[in-house]
Amino acid sequence: MATFQGKMFIFTAPSGAGKTTIVRYLLNKYHELDFSVSATTRAKRDYEMHGRDYYFMDTSEFMSRVDNGEFVEWEEVYQNQFYGTLKSEVERIWSQDSHLVFDIDVKGAQKIKQLYGNQCLSVFIRPPSLEALIDRLVNRNTETEETLIKRISKVKKEMEYQDNFDMVLVNDQLELAFKEANHIVETFLYGIPQS
């Protein structure tokens, strides 16, 4: 029996652009979609769960898995903080006859797009402006001053990548962004938007 190979939606954005909010909305609306849980070496936040938000592992385990060829893609996103997509995660989702949804950084998104080509749709979620994005980062109060400076620096670099993706979704008003995200998913899965 042939293994199901579904489609892939890659959502990427600078930190604070609303990517995770949009991805969660889509996962709640479309039962044929499943979230690709990334692996990371960064510290787990209090509200996060291993296996739901990320596969948390230390650097030596992560690099051992890299050496064993267990990743579809991986990247050192911040100094000594690695993120990646395990091949086993792609296989897990396809074994359930579901389509994958990625919520990953711009470089990881580009690697997956190169690897899977037309099987995936890459979407860059852009804030209305750099200033609005910096305000969002500051107002969510999840960063220290040092990590906030790192994130803002990275945001400026990531904004330059938006033209490298299949689509750009501007997240200015969340309800409109949700509607556009619906249109993107339905068009890619079914060919025409569902009513």
pLDDT 10s digits, 36-72: 999 999 999 999 999 999 999 999 999 999 999 999 9
Residue 1 lies in a domain: no
- The verdict on residue 3 lying in a domain is no
pLDDT digits (tens, 9 = 90+) for 121-156: 999 999 888 888 778 777 777 777 887 788 788 888
57 part of a folded domain: yes
| Residue of 74, 121, 73, 71 whose CA lies nearest to 101 | 121
pTM: 0.85
Measured distance CA(76)–CA(116) in Å, rounded? 21
Q: Is residue 114 part of a domain?
A: yes
Beta strands (DSSP E) in the chain are: 8-12, 33-35, 38-40, 54-56, 71-78, 81-86, 99-103, 120-126, 167-170
65 occurs within a structural domain: yes
Neighbours of 155 (CB within 10 A): 20
More confident residue, 115 or 134: 115
Residue 96 lies in a domain: yes
Q: How many domains does the chain have?
A: 1
For 194, phi and psi rounded to 5 degrees? -80, 150
CATH code for position 110: 3.40.50.300
Residue 145 falls inside a structural domain: yes
Range of the domain at 57: 8-190
- The answer to whether residue 52 is domain-embedded is yes
